[in-house]
Structure 1
């Protein structure tokens, strides 16, 4: 297996002798040839590259992330084993933690907003269903109604029906 170095820490490359799952052989000059010796079309290469990028975008093991961080700090000019290198590594970790915390807050806010809208819609359905009580133009709400059950009055409610 060939090791190609990007910075100081190695990144592995599938060598010429190794076969990919699709039967293609990777060649160091960037060409991809299948086992019959024909070259893949440009569209197929682009499609394969896009699929790989999308499939592997979020798939980074902690070891790979650590190696990428080391490479980044090394690329910034910090030598491994120095205090500056350690500070660079901690800074990258803290940036990632802040980004994750911000992402968590964003999704919590999205969920809270969805819950507020659903509760407001249900309150509107309850009021409308109670106002339609006794109106024969609307069917009586039941378990199949889109609203729900008002546990205070023990009646069903929904957008297009009446409570009783």
Structure 2
């Protein structure tokens, strides 16, 4: 039963991360369509709508708060996309490592062609040999 719960937790965490990423992307997308002057005017209108009078300390704090929220959203978005890229790189490296092992295991097996530049895998720069999913090392 505890395995089911952890699966549920993991399953519900992914949508939350996705929602945060989408929200950050929307905020950044909308921010990209607005000039800094327009954004400043929108922030002023928002702070005024909150009940702060221009020229007061409360108004200045409101403006700073909106700026900080935007900066945090940008930083969160950057972290999200950096994590996505790092995960893609980890998966690609794991796949290439698997291809290398598979190619080495097939060494000398005439049923598979010798790996070359046209192989899907790539070249192991350490050993200067080609590898791939459907070929063999020499």
The alignment's TM-score, normalised by the length of structure 1, stands at 0.64
- Say yes or no: does 1:84 pair with 2:58: yes
Aligned residues: 110
Residues 107-153 of structure 1 deviation map (CA, whole Å, 9 limit, x = unaligned): 11101101100000000000000111111111111111111111222
Partner residue, 1:107:
81
- Say yes or no: does 1:64 pair with 2:38: yes
Q: Residues 1-164 of structure 1 correspond to what in structure 2 (within 5 A)?
A: 58-164=32-138
Which ranges of structure 2 fall in alignment gaps of 5 or more residues?
Answer: 1-28
* Distance (whole Å) between structure 2 residues aligned to residue 92 and residue 128 of structure 1: 54
The alignment's TM-score, normalised by the length of structure 2, stands at 0.76
Residues 34-90 of structure 1 deviation map (CA, whole Å, 9 limit, x = unaligned): xxxxxxxxxxxxxxxxxxxxx977411111111110000011111111110000000
Whichever of the two has the greater Rg, that structure is 1
Higher relative strand content: 1
Secondary structure, counterpart of 2:109 in structure 1:
coil
Larger RCO, structures 1/2 (Cα 8 Å, 6+ apart): 2
